[in-house]
Chain A
């Protein structure tokens, strides 16, 4: 069964600094990978997704992620964060061989941007 490990439970960072949120997934022949963001008292919103093709994926709000098959990683990056980026970030995986159903989420990383 697929699983996702988010290596940091909390990441504090100063405004305008770069940030990387780390994600590793259990090995599979092929995977779909996602990053979602959750603001307080809200549901999850898709930031970006990797389905196939280019390993560098760009998403909304200036975020990007790189798929590394050999490392089974899908780390999320932003070159310069804003206060408004403070939120919970979830890495997720699904198995395309099952039609992409049953998306599995990591435990989340809380990004806290300080002024």
Chain B
């Protein structure tokens, strides 16, 4: 049973560029949440997708956008990258009808903005 997979594992971009991160949820899961984890900090909630729509959003600017596909996989897009966007981006999946918010995490994408 495949868990949550994220790609790529590492990424280096320069300021002003755009980036797309990808996530495939655990088999049987229908909800994908994205988190940003800066060095030495806890994960910060970006947004959550269910039924191809954004359900909730954290305190992140509109430069952060996402998408969920019919197969439940998801993308996180960040435009006009800033140095402060350097972080580990974590994807977590869950099942709406299952245990409330038992999140299953991928290993993350390490984004470095130079």
Contact = CB atoms under 8 A, between A and B. Distances in A.
A57 interface: no
Contacts of A104: 45
Contacts of A108: 40-42
B108 A102 contact: no
Interface range on chain A (Cβ under 8 Å from partner): 20 to 34
The range of chain B's interface size is 20 to 34
A94 B45 CA distance: 11
B19 interface: no
Contacts of B35: 105
Interface string B40-67: 1111110010000001101000000000
Contacts of A41: 107
A44 interface: yes
Contacts of B42: 4, 6, 90, 105-108
A46 B98 CA distance: 15
14 contacts: A32-B100, A34-B101, A36-B103, A43-B4, A49-B99, A49-B102, A96-B100, A99-B100, A100-B100, A101-B56, A103-B103, A107-B42, A108-B40, A108-B41
Interface of A: 4, 6, 32, 34, 36, 41-46, 49, 51, 90, 94, 96, 98-108
Given A4-B42, A101-B101, 4 more contacts: A41-B107, A103-B101, A105-B44, A108-B42
Q: Which 3 A-B pairs have the closest CB atoms?
A: A100-B100, A43-B105, A105-B42
